[in-house]
Homo-oligomer: A and B are copies of this chain.
Amino acid sequence: MRHAHHPATEELSLPETMAALSDPLRIGLVRVLADGAERGWGELRAPVAKSTLSHHLRVLRDAGVTRTRQEGTRCFVTLRRQDLDERFPGLVEALLGAADAEDVGGGVHLAPGADSTGACR
């Protein structure tokens, strides 16, 4: 729960970003975050152990795909859509379009009751 590293926009690496986005579960996470809303980790439901989820969120963060904010014991995550679009124009849009079309990472959901109006408890 220490300070997380976030690469600067200009440090984003295309191969690393592609690798981060090549796992179905991580694609599912990106889809859940695609509306731009900030989500608490507690809202995220994925069919893996919490340590595994933590690992995947770390991969996304290290690659610069997401940004993590800490508040007390709780963490919130957002998609760095603007940074990604600046560096790799069209990539996220293409990924989301393709992922939605075939429901890649469909095992990832939001907790029931959570909506995009900011229901972070």
List A residues at the B interface (Cβ < 8 Å).
Answer: 14-16, 18-19, 21-24, 27, 87-91, 93-95, 97-99, 102, 104
Contact = CB atoms under 8 A, between A and B. Distances in A.
Contacts of A97: 88-90
A94 to B, nearest CB: 4
Contacts of A14: 27, 95, 98-99, 102, 104
Copies of the polypeptide in the assembly: 2
A27 to B, nearest CB: 7
Nearest to A105: B15
Given A14-B99, A15-B27, 10 more contacts: A14-B95, A14-B98, A15-B23, A16-B22, A18-B19, A87-B98, A89-B97, A90-B94, A91-B98, A93-B94
